[in-house]
Amino acid sequence: MTADLYTLDASSRDYDRIASALAYLGDNWRDHPDLDRAAKAAGLSPHHFQRVFTRWVGVSPKKFVGALAHDAAREALDEGACVLDAAFEAGLSGPGRLHDLFIAHEAVTPGDAKRRGAGLSFVWGVAPSPFGDAILLIAPRGLSAMAFADPDVDSGFADLAARYPAADYTRDDAIARSWSERIFTPTDREQLPLALYGSPWQRQVWRALLTIPPGDTTTYKAIAEQVSAPKASRAVGAAVGANPVSWLIPCHRVLASNGKLTGYHWGVERKRAMLAYEAARR
């Protein structure tokens, strides 16, 4: 057997084992199985399983189980469960472990996650922009979110409202239009007020994004270094992805380390158009 065929054969065997391991973890994640139990389900030694699983899935078995637990707890909180019940839903022994889980995945406490938007009142509306119809959320202190109507207004609004599910919303397209004109009028250089609701870590990353000049780009690694977390590129990427204010907080100016355009919540084509728009006006 040639080296290439041997590699393909080994890869095929690994796929079958990892598929079995994923099925096992999907069925048993609430028990938070340790590495030995998960490796046994795959028919591999713990060390080999850890390496192969991480290569195939992109995260370790422990982080994979943690992600499943976090998703279950988040869903329980969003449906009105208390923190204790959410911890039990995630297969955890109590709120302390749930706290650690949420800090690891969202950099917020379970209580903060449960209160998202409670007590806030937003005016929202639809307005034209150079990049398609924009949807804006305006709080009394300033702009809280701006997105795009993809694939339609209802879907775009639902995407933003999901960030603040407990808030109150009133629609006023005229107010949204006035904000859009201030945002996209090139001669209007006033400092627009922002009312950002996010974890301290997220706001730190968003402030770093605001320092990128129009027409320039940077990388996730550079942002991580700017916020004094050089080894946290992945966490920076998550915070960039959670940016609620498109365009004005310019997450479209962040590229992969190789200079390529990477995933953008509102479409890579729109990201490319934004960069071209800024470059032409630089």
Which structural domains are found in the chain, ordered by start? 3-114 (1.10.10.60), 121-184 (3.30.160), 200-280 (1.10.10.10)
Average pLDDT score over the chain = 83
pLDDT at residue 53 greater than cutoff 50: yes
Residues catalogued as catalytic: 251
Mean pLDDT along residues 153-169: 88
| C-alpha span between 88 and 141 (Å, rounded) | 38
Cα distances (Å, whole numbers) of residue 13 to 21, 36, 62, 100, 268: 12, 19, 22, 36, 35
Task: Please state which of the ranges 182-186, 229-233, 238-242 shows the lowest mean pLDDT.
Answer: 229-233
pLDDT at 198 over 70: yes
Check pLDDT > 60 for residue 280.
Answer: yes
CA distance 49 to 202: 34
Percentage of the chain lying above the pLDDT 90 cut = 31
